[in-house]
């Protein structure tokens, strides 16, 4: 088993962890929780399919759901599978009653998946076109980043600004602005998030670019450009018992030209939905 991300979901998941369990506020309380469960999901990728010009069909399945957060003083670790959140190891640099500034020492944007690595990344130049096309569309890439995250709490509204840099591959930048709000309708909890992100050319190129030596008859060389993309996420949770929660989420993203112009991409909008049950430790 290995942690990996597929290229198609990676940038669609790139997000500087806007609302992952930074339960800091006016005082830092040590402790945390772990959530384990199962979820069914449906994902509509922006990537082109290998055997045609259309986008890939909707991917559906069931999987393990893991989420957790733990804090000790100013240090914290947090993460969850799926949705817009990533995984982070960080330190709270400064805080007051309703604001926090955090250093994300190590941050994996997007959704960490647990599965078997397919290992198609390293297809040589002498491979045939189909193998090289498959490698371009199926390569696994992980982006490790570091940066800063600022949050401001206004009642049930949360504002966030973030800036992280990819220190693994070319130091591409990822900037984000997000607003979240939550509602309680009876025992149902709703949390809506809208955001705008800007990915630097180096980062886009790393994920959706096609180098000259990677180009094929079908996929011409492409150099990624600075790109904006918007996203909206709706999460719904409800208690099923003292330690059980029902959770669902719907995430929509719209990508800019720097990404959609890539020959690897067939659509501008990505969609993912998830429904699951989790036990909270």
Partner 1 sequence: MCSDKVILALMVLCSTVAVADEAIRDTTRLEARPVTCVAVHRGQTCFKRIRLSWTTRMTGRLCVLRDGAAEPLVCWMGGARTDWEHDYASADGERYRLVVTDADGVPLDTLATTSVDTVWVYRGRRSVSGGWRLF
Task: List residues binding partner 1 (CB under 8 A).
Answer: 19-27, 29, 31-33, 35, 67, 69, 80, 97-98, 153-156, 158, 180, 182, 184, 186-187, 189, 191, 237-239, 241-245, 280
Q: Pick between residue 57 and residue 241 the one whose CB is nearest to partner 1.
A: 241
| Closest distance of CB 183 from partner 1, Å | 11
Q: Which residues, listed in sequence order, are joined to residue 91 by a DSSP beta bridge? A: 75, 103
Q: How far apart are CA 12 and CA 16, in angstroms?
A: 12
Q: Pick between residue 227 and residue 249 the one whose CB is nearest to partner 1.
A: 249
Q: Pick between residue 80 and residue 107 the one whose CB is nearest to partner 1.
A: 80
138 dihedral zone (left: phi>0; alpha: psi -120 to 50; beta): alpha
Q: In this structure, are residues 149 and 160 in contact, taking their beta carbons and an 8 Å threshold?
A: yes
Supply the DSSP symbol for 118: -
Q: In this structure, are residues 280 and 223 in contact, taking their beta carbons and an 8 Å threshold?
A: no
| Closest distance of CB 127 from partner 1, Å | 43
| Closest distance of CB 12 from partner 1, Å | 21
CA separation, residue 226 to residues 10, 87, 170, 188 (Å)? 16, 24, 14, 39
CA separation, residue 56 to residues 10, 31, 214, 231 (Å)? 15, 42, 21, 20
| Closest distance of CB 203 from partner 1, Å | 25
Q: Pick between residue 127 and residue 237 the one whose CB is nearest to partner 1.
A: 237
CA separation, residue 57 to residues 48, 198, 212, 270 (Å)? 9, 27, 28, 12
| Closest distance of CB 66 from partner 1, Å | 11
Q: Pick between residue 5 and residue 80 the one whose CB is nearest to partner 1.
A: 80
| Closest distance of CB 189 from partner 1, Å | 5
Q: Pick between residue 140 and residue 233 the one whose CB is nearest to partner 1.
A: 233
């Amino acid at each position: 088993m290995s942690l990996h991300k597929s290229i198609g979901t990676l940038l669609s998941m790139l997000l500087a962890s806007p609302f992952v369990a930074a339960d800091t506020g006016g005082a830092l309380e040590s402790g945390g929780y772990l959530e384990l469960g199962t979820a069914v999901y449906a994902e509509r990728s922006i990537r082109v399919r290998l055997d045609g010009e259309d986008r890939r069909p909707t991917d559906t399945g069931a999987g393990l759901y893991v989420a957790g957060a733990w804090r000790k003083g100013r240090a914290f670790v947090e993460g969850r599978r799926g949705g817009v959140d990533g995984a982070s190891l960080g330190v709270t640099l400064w805080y007051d009653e309703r604001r926090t500034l955090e250093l994300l020492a190590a941050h994996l944007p997007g959704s960490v998946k647990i599965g078997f690595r397919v290992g198609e990344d390293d297809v040589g130049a002498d491979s045939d076109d189909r193998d090289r096309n498959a490698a371009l569309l199926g390569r696994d890439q992980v982006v490790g980043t570091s940066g800063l995250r600022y949050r401001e709490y206004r009642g049930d509204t949360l504002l966030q600004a973030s800036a992280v840099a990819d220190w693994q591959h070319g130091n591409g930048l990822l900037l984000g602005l997000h607003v979240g709000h939550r509602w309680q309708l009876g025992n149902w909890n709703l949390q809506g998030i809208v955001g705008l992100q800007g990915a630097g050319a180096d980062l886009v190129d790393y994920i959706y670019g096609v180098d000259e030596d990677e180009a094929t008859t079908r996929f011409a060389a492409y150099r990624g450009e600075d790109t904006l993309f918007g996203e909206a996420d709706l999460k719904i949770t409800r208690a099923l018992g003292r330690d059980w929660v029902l959770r669902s989420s719907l995430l929509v993203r719209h990508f800019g030209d720097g990404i959609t112009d890539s020959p690897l991409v067939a659509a501008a909008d990505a969609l993912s939905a998830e429904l699951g049950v989790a036990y909270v430790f």
